[in-house]
Structure 1
């Protein structure tokens, strides 16, 4: 006769308690690992940048520059006297997921969107993912200021020049079909005197103007 060994009540209880302790240890270990991973991810900010000020967030007056460890679109904070610093933050605005809805002050040469990503590698964060938190409005520390009125870069402002297709161009090299931006308004009836070419744009949610009031350049 073949006999099959079976565990008695006491031995079965010991096995159940041991298995429970092992399962509990695995769950605790998993929770600790997940918490550490989340803490690590939430401590870094990214956007057009892996950008973070000295205290963890950008403030007006902070300086920054390209992050050598996060090329080609990463930025990081630097002391303003550091050789790596290339711009100073004129303003730090709240971020928006709507393109064109963040308006930086005059003289802004570059805009850096700062966002926080969770549960992904830093490499993935620099591909435009994450939750937008701020927009850094930066002005170059060098003498190159494409964001100045008429220089042809940055956001469109009064004093810039545009082509007949409503594209910004540098006033100094503008062609005969260029116009000077006299104002940016919601309705063409709001354009100031001297407007010869009110350019009505396709509606864009969040943009503060829908009409470029253009005149002779």
Structure 2
């Protein structure tokens, strides 16, 4: 959940933000998780919904969720590019971008794994996608941000454990700015039906 480079406008209004987690749980400016290089499980789709993946430095493979190598579960899976597709669920810890390739093993035997992305949830804590935890690919109610210079903000942990102290907390999500409660000082574009996050000072 983070704003990797939201623009501040009048009254500290923000443009939208979506990101993949970096080492500090920050957004699109952070590192993207590595794409899987080959499917290893029996599913019809490489890393389909409810399947699990290993965590590796150069590749991620599909493994049984009960395996000791399993690190995260797919909570949503979409084809195409992350920037063009549906939003990941709010509890997503990180997004795994899957490049189109021709691995030695694939989901249907046609020699290709199509481009797509998997919304992943770690099997064990930490869960940077939880509200206020300071990470994840989306900004949701309960998340905190700090100003990052040049009209930008970044998400940070609400408990102050991040590299920067929180300055605003997203207190509500509404369809339009005029529905934000009194005391709102920051408007964050969240996407979806409730597209505006109402930020208050912390």
Report the TM-score, using the length of structure 2 for normalisation: 0.61
**Whose relative contact order is higher, 1 or 2, with alpha carbons under 8 Å and at least 6 apart?**
2
Partner residue, 2:42: 54
Larger radius of gyration: 1
1:162 and 2:136 are equivalent in the alignment: no
Aligned length: 152
1:109 and 2:97 are equivalent in the alignment: no
Higher helix share: 1
Report if aligned partners of 1:95, 1:102 keep a CA contact under 8 Å in 2.
no
Change (3 A) 1:51 1:187: farther
Partner residue, 1:153: 135
Question: In structure 2, how many angstroms separate the alpha carbons of the residues matched to 1:87 and 1:147?
Answer: 13
RMSD, aligned CA: 3.3
Report if aligned partners of 2:53, 2:60 keep a CA contact under 8 Å in 1.
yes
Report if aligned partners of 2:36, 2:98 keep a CA contact under 8 Å in 1.
yes
Cα shift readout 1:25-51 (whole Å, capped 9, x = no counterpart): xxxxxxxxxxxxxxxxxxxxxx72225
Change (3 A) 1:114 1:56: farther
